Structure 1
C-alpha cells in the first residue's frame, strides 16, 4: 500500500507542477512557451528513467525504497530552487550567447524537478514486485487528479505558491516510500514538509515570491492587486494615474480631459485600464474613440461587449445611450474587480443598463435568444498560454468563420458587428486576415456581395472593421463619411470606396469561397479565413514562404504579426536547445551504455547481451510502437481540447476535464 500511495502522490504533483509551470512561463515569457513546460518535463523524466537504466545498482531490493524516497525528497528540494531561478532569470530571445545561456538555465531549472520524479516513477513501475496494472493505475489516477488540483488550486493560490505546495506533496510521497527504513530520513522529511507548507502559506498571504522579470523587464512590486487563476494573472497597479484619456484609437480632435485611471496588465503585457465613471461627463470623451464608430449608426437597440476588461467598452455603450448593455468576459477576475474593488470607481455594477456574464462569448451567444444592435469586440487578445499548444490563445475560438456566424445570428436585422484590431499601413498583416474572415463569414451566410456590408477606418496603429447584417444604405454611407471627416480618421474602405491596397481589394471583390481561396493562395502571409478545424487566427506564417514573410514584415510595428514572427523563431531556437540537451543527457549516455562502456553490477547482464537476446529489430519496433502511442495520445488531446473549449466555455476547462478523463480512464483500464 505505501508504494501505491507514493506513486500516486508523485504522479499527482508531477502533472500539477507541469501545468502550473505553463501558467508561470506564460507570465514570465510569452504564450508560445506553452509547450516548453511539457517538453522540459518530458526531458527531465526521460533523463531520470535513463539514470535508473544506467545505475541499476542504486535500486537493488535492499536499497530501492530508500533511494526512491531520497529522489522524491530531491524533487521537493529542487522545486523551490527552480522556482526562484525562473522568477529571477531574464528570458529574452535574441541571437546572442547571453540569451542562449539564459535559455539553458531556464530549461535546466524547469527540467530538474522532473528528473527526480522520473527516477521515482520509473523505479515504481519497473522494480517493485507488485501487480503492474495496479501500479500503473496509481500513477495515472494521481496524474489525473493533478489536473484538477491546478484548476482548483489557482483559484485560491498564485502560481508560485501552488508550486511550493507541489513540492510539499512530493515530501509525502517520499515518506510513503521510506516507510520505517530510515528514521533520519523521516525526520528530515517531516521538517521539510513543515517548512514547505509554511512557505506556501506565507507566500500566499504576502506575495513575497513573484516573477521579478516579466517579458524581459524588471517587474516592480507596486501592485494594488495581484490576482491569479488557472489561465491568467491580472495585476492592478496601486498608482492612480491622472491620464488625458483612455482611448485606444483617439481622434485628433478628442478633448484633453484628465481622468483618474487604474492601469492593469494581463500576464505582464496585454494592458487595459479602469477609469472613473460617476457622471455622464466622465465618459463623454469615449465618443472620440475609433473603436466606437459603429455607435454613431446604432445608438440604441442594445449592445453586447465581448471582453469586458476594465469596462471601457461598456462605458462607451452607455455614453451613446444604449439601455441594455451585456458585458461578457471569459475571465472572472475582471468582472469580480468591477463588482467589488472598483464597484463605485467604475460605476458599472450598479448601473441599471449593465449585465455581466462570466462565460466564453461564443458559447454564451450560441445559447441565448437575445439580439443586439451592436456586438463589439475590441482588441481581444492576450499572450496567455492555455496549454493546448504553442500557438494557442484563449481568444482563438472568437476568430473563426463559425464563431462570426454565431455573432451574426445574434444581431438584430439591421445590426452591426464591430471588430477593432491592430493596423500597419505598410504591412497588411492581420488586417488582411481579418477582412478575409469577414468576407468568408458573409459568404457562408448566403451573402454574395460582401463588399456592400463592410467598412473599415483607421487611426495610427488601430483599425476598426464594421460588418453590417444588411448592406449599408446611402444615408449610412454619407453619415460615416461625415464622421470620418469630423473626427479626422483614415477611411480604409467602404461600399463605393474600394481600398487602395491591392490585396484587400481582391479579397472583398470575391463572390464565392473558392474564389477567395484562389485570391489568397499565393500571398506570402496566411490570409486563409480561420475555421474551427484550423482556428489559429494569430499564426499567419507559411513555412513555404517564411523568408519572404520575414522580409515583408521586417518593419512591422503593430499587432500580433511581429509577435508571431518572434514566436516562430523562438520555437525553432527552443527545439534546437531541447535537442542538444536531449543529446547530452539521454542519447549519448545510452549509446555509451549500449556499446558496453558502462560497468554492470554482478549478476546483471550487459546491455549488449540484452540487445542480442531480444534482437535489435524487436527493440526498435517496440520503441516505435510506444512512441506512436504517445504521439497519437497527444494529437487526440490537442484536437479535443480545441473542440471542447467551444462547448465547455473555456480552454482551461477543456484542458483539465479532458486530461482528467483521458488519464484516469487509461489508469482504470490498466487495472
Structure 2
C-alpha cells in the first residue's frame, strides 16, 4: 500500500490532514450561508446533510481505494485535488440555479456532496494508515476543523460567501500539494502545484470580477434590484438597493428594511404626517416625545417615526453591524440624512436581549417592527426554532424595562396558516 515511506515524514502528514479538515469545515459552514441566500433559510440544514452524506460515503469508499495499487500519498493527493475541483463545480451549480425545484435541488445536493466525498475518503485513509499515532492525528484533525470554523468569519466579511467557498477549494488544493510532497512522482508534485496556482488565480479573478456570484435567489433576478452595496457576515448577506429616498436594505435577498430620508432639522408638517401615517406609528401617537427603545432598528424607519413624534431620546438596537455601521453610518449615511449620527439617537450594535439584560433604563415605548429576517445562522443550527425575541423570558425583560405608562409594540407579518 505504500504506507512506510509516508510514515517517515510525519510533519507533512499532520499538515496535509489539517488542511484537508480545515477546507472541509470551511466549505460546510460557508454553504449554509450560500443556501440561506440562494434558496431559503431552512436550507441551511441541507449543507449539514450534504456534509454528513458525503463524508460517510467517502469513509465507506476508502475501503475500496485502500486496495488499489499505488502509494498512499499519491492517492491522498489525487483525492484532495479532486475535492478542490469539485468545490468549484458545486459552487457554479449552486449559483446558477434559478428556481429551487426538485431537479435543481438534486443537482445542488449531489454536486455539493462530491468535495465531502473525496475529503471523507482521504481522512479515513490517513487515520487507518497512522493508527500508531492516532492521538496526534486526531489532534491535527480537530485543529484543522477548528481553524476552518475560525476562518469562516473573516473570510465572509473580506471576500463574501462565494469566494469563501472558493477559498475552501484552494485549501483542498494546498492539501493536495502537501500530500504530493510525500510521493516520488515529480510529475504529480508539479501538477498539483500548477493546479493550486490556477485555483488561486481563479479565486483572485472572481474576487475582482465576480463572474461567480449570487445573481438569482429564491426565484428572483437580483440584477433588477440595482444593488449599490453587497456585504456578507456570519448573520446574512446584506444588500443596499435603490437611491436615496427610496432605498431598501435586503437581508439574504428576502427580508427587507427601508431607509427613510427625512431632514429632521427642517421637517415640514406634511413630512411629519408622512412619517407617522402607518400602523407602527401608533405608539408615538399615544406617547409623543417618549423615551424610546427600538429593537431591530434596521434602516431606521421606527427611529424616524419616534423623532417625527418629538422624541429626543431614542436608543436603536441593531444586531447586524453591516446594516448599522457599514451602511447607515460609514458608507451611505447620506441616504438617511445622517439618521444614526443624530444627537437624539443612540445606536447600539448588539443582540437586543443581551442589551436589555445589562441595561438599567426604563422606556416609555419599546418597539420591534417586522424583525424576522429568516436568515439562517452560520452553523445552520436552530434555523427553524422560534425567534428568541418572542419567548416568555424576552417579554418579561421588556416589561421590566417599560415605564408604568409605557407602550410595548410588536408588529409581525400576517401569514395565513395552512389548513
Three-state SS of the structure 2 residue aligned to 1:349 is helix
Match in the other structure for 1:267? 252
Q: Contact (CA 8 Å) 2:294, 2:315: kept in 1 or not?
A: yes
Q: Counterparts in 2 of 1:579-598, with a 5 A limit? A: none
- Distance in 1 (CA, whole Å) between partners of 2:356 and 2:98 is 41
- Distance in 1 (CA, whole Å) between partners of 2:380 and 2:272 is 39
Q: Contact (CA 8 Å) 1:35, 1:390: kept in 2 or not?
A: no
Match in the other structure for 2:279? 290
Match in the other structure for 2:152? 150
Per-residue CA deviations over 1:462-487 (Å, capped at 9, x if unaligned) read xxxxxxxxxxxxxxxxxxxxxxxxxx
- Distance in 1 (CA, whole Å) between partners of 2:332 and 2:367 is 23
TM-score by length of 2: 0.91
Match in the other structure for 2:236? 232
Query: Are 1:86 and 2:89 matched, yes or no?
Result: no
Q: Which runs of 5+ in 2 are unaligned?
A: 1-10
Q: Which has the higher contact order (CA 8 A, sep 6+)?
A: 2
Query: Are 1:192 and 2:190 matched, yes or no?
Result: no
Q: Counterparts in 2 of 1:267-416, with a 5 A limit? A: 267-278=252-263, 279-281=266-268, 282-336=271-325, 337-347=327-337, 348-386=339-377, 387-389=379-381, 391-392=383-384, 396-416=387-407
Q: Contact (CA 8 Å) 2:45, 2:383: kept in 1 or not?
A: no
Q: Counterparts in 2 of 1:124-273, with a 5 A limit? A: 124-128=126-130, 130-181=132-183, 182-220=185-223, 222-237=226-241, 239-240=242-243, 260-273=245-258
Shift of 1:283: 4.9
- Distance in 1 (CA, whole Å) between partners of 2:414 and 2:36 is 25
Q: Contact (CA 8 Å) 2:180, 2:192: kept in 1 or not?
A: no
Q: Counterparts in 2 of 1:443-462, with a 5 A limit? A: none
Look at both structures and tell me which one has the larger radius of gyration over its CA atoms.
1
Match in the other structure for 1:27? 37
- Distance in 2 (CA, whole Å) between partners of 1:19 and 1:195 is 24
RMSD: 1.8
Per-residue CA deviations over 1:376-425 (Å, capped at 9, x if unaligned) read 000110121113536446x711110001111111112211110001236x
Three-state SS of the structure 2 residue aligned to 1:422 is coil
Per-residue CA deviations over 1:485-537 (Å, capped at 9, x if unaligned) read xxxxxxxxxxxxxxxxxxxxxxxxxxxxxxxxxxxxxxxxxxxxxxxxxxxxx
Q: Contact (CA 8 Å) 1:32, 1:390: kept in 2 or not?
A: no
Match of 1:17 among 23, 27, 30: 27
- Distance in 1 (CA, whole Å) between partners of 2:303 and 2:202 is 41
- Distance in 1 (CA, whole Å) between partners of 2:222 and 2:129 is 47
- Distance in 2 (CA, whole Å) between partners of 1:137 and 1:378 is 47
Query: Are 1:41 and 2:59 matched, yes or no?
Result: no
- Distance in 2 (CA, whole Å) between partners of 1:334 and 1:90 is 27
Q: Contact (CA 8 Å) 1:162, 1:200: kept in 2 or not?
A: no
Shift of 1:134: 0.8
